[in-house]
Amino acid sequence: MSRTRLEILQWYALLGGALAWTAEHVLGYFVSDGGCSDRVGHAALWGSMLTGFGVAAVAAAQVAAITVYRATRSVGHDAPGPEGRLRFFAVAALVGNVLFLMLVSLDGLGSLVHLPCAQAASTPRRGAALYAANCASCHGLNGRGVPTPTPGANGVTGQGPPLRNVGARAADFYLRTGYMPLANAHDQPTRRHVVFTEPEIRSLIGYVASLGPGPAIPTPRPGRVAAGQRLFTDHCAGCHQAVAQGGYVTGARVPPLTDATDRQIAEAVRIGPYLMPRFSTKAITRGELNDIVAYVDYTKHPDDRGGWAIGHLGPWPEGAVTWLLAAAALVAICTLLGRRLRA
């Protein structure tokens, strides 16, 4: 191997480990900082990639040092001249890169240890700040409620219920459906775009849950569709219509359940949002609730064996179409009969 190549390898062997550790350390700091601001999964991915890059770079520098050392193995480290200097630096790189390999590995372990700092996005402290900015004007400081309607941040006015002891279940439902925050506490909540990011939602849920013991977020498991249909017809179809397409009742709009997740269905049954009645475990057991969830899931993509579903809106549009068709047929028959009589 030529001396020029050996010198290039020598400098890489000397500086490669140090540069790799420095780059991994600096970039890892920014990745870790980003992880602490809502990107936990990305932080873990990038942290692992950076650690792997650092280890690979140091290993390559170690291979370069071994190559230089072997190429100059006939020369002592104290021998004068360029060859002796190459051998001396190769030995120094062999020892130094072991240290840098340890540093890179420890940095990687440190990143994994400190990744939980990214969970700071979900701590009650951050949730308290989000709550004060977006919820306290209606629900009061510390979830104690507001005695009289007062104007608040972002133009929010009105009086909301206290959130003490409501638990994570209600917060999860209202935040993930976009029902909250409202412009006015007396408006009907409707499903809309969620204004908070996922880490912010987790933070708010954690804060509300910390205000007092309450129900946890449910984890429904869809059960039997046929049983769910009977239960849904008995308890829900009067407002939501037989295939969960929603409708109107006195003083409120009943939303369709097309976009409702299994968890949101289970939460709504227990919470009773807005004018919807609240069903206890005595009225609807956990197994029955799983059956209802299964049926609502079915209504999102029903098997329309009868043909045209007419929007799954029930007997009214079906009756209207029938009468319109029948009326048109009757007019046509009368016209034909009248022409024949004239003839």
pLDDT digits (tens, 9 = 90+) for 269-290: 999 998 899 999 999 999 999 9
pLDDT at residue 45, rounded to an integer? 59
44-67 mean pLDDT: 76
In this structure, of 31-45, 126-140, 249-263, the range with the lowest mean pLDDT score is 31-45
Averaged pLDDT score across all residues of the chain:
80
Residue pair 77/84 in contact (Cβ under 8 Å)? The answer is yes
Closest of 264, 232, 228, 234 to residue 245, by C-alpha: 232
pLDDT at residue 7, rounded to an integer? 80
Q: How far apart are CA 24 and CA 35, in angstroms?
A: 16
- Band of residue 160 on the pLDDT scale cut at 50, 70, 90: confident
Q: Indicate the CATH number of 225-303 among 1.10.760.10, 3.40.980.10, 1.10.3470.10, 2.40.110.10.
A: 1.10.760.10
pLDDT digits (tens, 9 = 90+) for 107-117: 766 655 554 44
pLDDT at residue 226, rounded to an integer? 95
Residue 99, CA atoms < 13 Å, CB-side half-sphere: 11
Whether residue 154 is predicted with pLDDT greater than 50 in this model: the reply is: no
Q: Do domains 124-210 and 225-303 have the same CATH topology?
A: yes
Closest of 66, 53, 52 to residue 13, by C-alpha: 66
Helix (H, G, I), strand (E, B) or coil at 332: helix
- For 341, other C-beta atoms within 10 Å of its C-beta total 7
Domain boundaries, the chain: 3-118, 124-210, 225-303
pLDDT at residue 156, rounded to an integer? 46
Q: Indicate the CATH number of 124-210 among 3.90.550, 2.60.40, 1.10.760, 1.20.1070.
A: 1.10.760
